A and B are shown apart, each in its own frame.
Chain A
Amino acid sequence: MNIIVSVKQVPNTTQVRINPETNTLIREGVECIINPFDMYAVEEGVLLKEKLGGKVTVISMGPPQAEAALKEAISLGCDEAILLTDRLFAGSDTWATSYVLSQAVKKIGDFSIIICGKQASDGDTAQVGPGISMHLGIPQVTYVKKVEKITKETARVERMTEEGFEIIETPLPCLFTVVKEINRPRLPSLKGKMKAKKAEIIKWGAEDLGCDFDKIGLDGSPTRVVKIFTPPPRKNGVILKGVTSEIVDKLASELKNEF
């Protein structure tokens, strides 16, 4: 069973500071790490491979430095790594990013499962995983917390919800996004680290992927960032106490005053 894991390199948010003028992350001098949720995606991919055989290919779209994230994924047990890197990708929003990733998946071809993290710790949209599945026209299950059963054609997984979980059975190939309840990521092994050091990271650009140039980069991205700001904190609710009829009156008059 061949598995593709999609990882994003992100700034280590425990060290990140925000520029108070632009409200953007100060990325300079900040260590880059694999998006924490993607560590669970990598671990799940490797666990499935260990159980079912096959190989794990890890992909990432990003600048050349993202090679470090891919090497780390190899040290954790992934077999092959592909970096999708091209100046033309710069400025891609979640839609364009997932398009590029889906093109890479098509080029890889033979796969049963794609695993993404639940969301990225910097962008935080949780859109890229679902985006890839839509571009590919394959099913998706988000927030997977357990893979219960897998056969050649189907998978049964538990999907975390706010109240509990759902059990979903899906045909393969399929895309999962995973939550941190799914496993406990291992530490790298020495052999893995050595393998990672020697590993050739394959690099694909827009042309290699046969991308439609209108769908990538800033120009290919429908999102326009108009303004970035910190939303004001939500005010605390008010709890009214007393006899019901009094509370109703009070509520009505408060609402009248507010609006």
Chain B
Amino acid sequence: MDILLTEEQKMIKDLCRQIAREKIQPVAAEYDEKEEFPWPIVKILAESDICGIYIPEEYGGMGGGVFELAIATEELSWGCGGIALAFAATGLGAFPIILFGNDEQKKKYLPKIAKGTMAAFCITEAEAGSDAGSIKTQAVKDGDHYILNGTKQWITNGGEADIYTVIAMTDKSKGARGATAFMVEKGTKGLDFGKKEKKLGIRGSATREVVLTDCRVPKENVLSREGMGFIVAMKTFDYSRPGVAAQAVGIAQRALDEAVSYAHQRKQFGRLISSFQGLQFMLADMAIQVEAARAVVYRAAKVVDSGDKSMAKISAIAKTFASDVAMKVTTDAVQVLGGYGYMREYPVEKLMRDAKITQIYEGTNQIQRSIIAASLIKELKKK
């Protein structure tokens, strides 16, 4: 599908592929085992200018958009979906600034992110997952500051990132219009981190609680304005979901590659197992799904970059389809490798574990389907 890419996008793809193969793939199992944050890889991404690909040039980036982020995320996730998430979730933390930040805020934070500083996005709480509107974290105005209190849960890059976008309630009585987005820097008094979660997959990624205790944040750190918190969050997800979808495609592509190469060397009944039609059809179905998922990711990324109003729907479609594909294809890859596939010594069981999260975070696939259906009904009413 490279014919769809510009010269520059091909360069991004090639470079990320090289990084994935030479730097990430060899250490992926180790990070999975040790559950460490991949700082050495982040450094490589920063030195290669990859951290800034989706950041505007005037703020020290390479001037690309969601499409560039997606092709990079796919390639990096081929190497390891967990390690790639350090980069992709920083995108999730950066989009609120790119989309809603004023010039000053952009100048302050974006060049750092382009140089390899990590960012994070904090909305989920223990009692507020899919139902993000029920968050309890509060921000109370106090002169030129806001005082934040509350606990955010399962924050990717938590503790590792320097920049946190936090969604908190400034006026409960206004419901969904009573939330506000704040930029909180690591080191701010009252910003602390809980223990690192032990996870099924993407274990090279750090997931922590972000705890705000009388955390004073200057009013200059409000993104957009008071009351815009959920709009900031929803718009951010429109921009970030193609990235999750791309992560899923990268994981799925890797599973397909591993399955094909294994099938073509494993012999049973005196023949290569790749010669059995039953297995060939499985491989073919995997390839069909991966290719289709990539196509919808590319399309979603293009629509989002165009700024078109319909983006929420296609963005949700890409995320749902690609993550369902990743789950199916990685499960099939384990099947193709048989008992070997189940063993940690082979890479595919990890792919299956890593794939699962793409159906859950940034809105579960059930929530995505609700978004898609809501869009369909809205479109019908417009006709």
Contact = CB atoms under 8 A, between A and B. Distances in A.
Interface of A: 186-191, 193-194, 197
B48 A189 contact: yes
B18 A187 contact: yes
A186 B19 CA distance: 11
Nearest to B64: A190
Contacts of B231: none
B22 A191 contact: no
B249 interface: no
Contact of A190 (B22, B44, B62): B62
Contacts of A187: 15, 18-19, 22-23, 44, 47-48
Interface in B43-61: 44, 47-50, 53
Contacts of B14: 193
Given A189-B48, A191-B49, A193-B11, 18 more contacts: A186-B47, A187-B15, A187-B19, A187-B22, A187-B23, A187-B48, A188-B15, A188-B18, A190-B11, A190-B12, A190-B48, A190-B49, A190-B50, A193-B14, A193-B15, A194-B11, A197-B7, A197-B11
Interface string B341-360: 00000000000000000000
Nearest to A197: B7
A191 B22 CA distance: 20
Contacts, number: 32
B33 interface: no
Contacts of A194: 8, 11
B113 to A, nearest CB: 15
Interface string B1-43: 0000001100110110011001100000000000000000000
Interface residues of B, number: 17
29 contacts: A186-B47, A187-B15, A187-B18, A187-B19, A187-B22, A187-B44, A187-B47, A187-B48, A188-B15, A188-B18, A188-B48, A189-B47, A189-B48, A189-B49, A190-B11, A190-B12, A190-B15, A190-B48, A190-B49, A190-B50, A190-B62, A191-B49, A191-B62, A193-B11, A193-B14, A193-B15, A194-B8, A197-B7, A197-B11
A190 B10 CA distance: 11
Closest 3 CB pairs of A and B: A190-B49, A193-B11, A189-B49
Contacts of A186: 47
Contacts of B47: 186-187, 189
A193 B11 CA distance: 7
Quick one: which of A187, A188, A190, A194 has the most chain B CB within 10 A? Answer: A190
A197 B9 CA distance: 13
Interface string B208-225: 000000000000000000
B99 to A, nearest CB: 23
Interface in B78-134: none
A53 B14 CA distance: 30
A190 B19 contact: no
Nearest to A186: B47
A190 B46 CA distance: 10
Contacts of B7: 197
Contacts of A197: 7, 11
B23 A190 contact: no
Contacts of B23: 187
A193 B49 CA distance: 10
B278 to A, nearest CB: 34
A194 B7 CA distance: 9
Contacts of A189: 47-49
Interface string B191-217: 000000000000000000000000000
A194 B6 CA distance: 12
A186 B8 CA distance: 20
A130 B18 CA distance: 34
B59 to A, nearest CB: 15
A187 B14 CA distance: 12
Nearest to A191: B49
A257 to B, nearest CB: 49
A133 to B, nearest CB: 33
A171 to B, nearest CB: 34
A194 B53 CA distance: 13
A191 B11 CA distance: 10
Contacts of B49: 189-191
Contacts of B18: 187-188
B143 to A, nearest CB: 44
A158 to B, nearest CB: 26
Quick one: which of B8, B23, B44, B48 has the most chain A CB within 10 A? Answer: B48
Contacts of B11: 190, 193-194, 197
A189 B16 CA distance: 10
Contacts of B15: 187-188, 190, 193
A191 B8 CA distance: 10
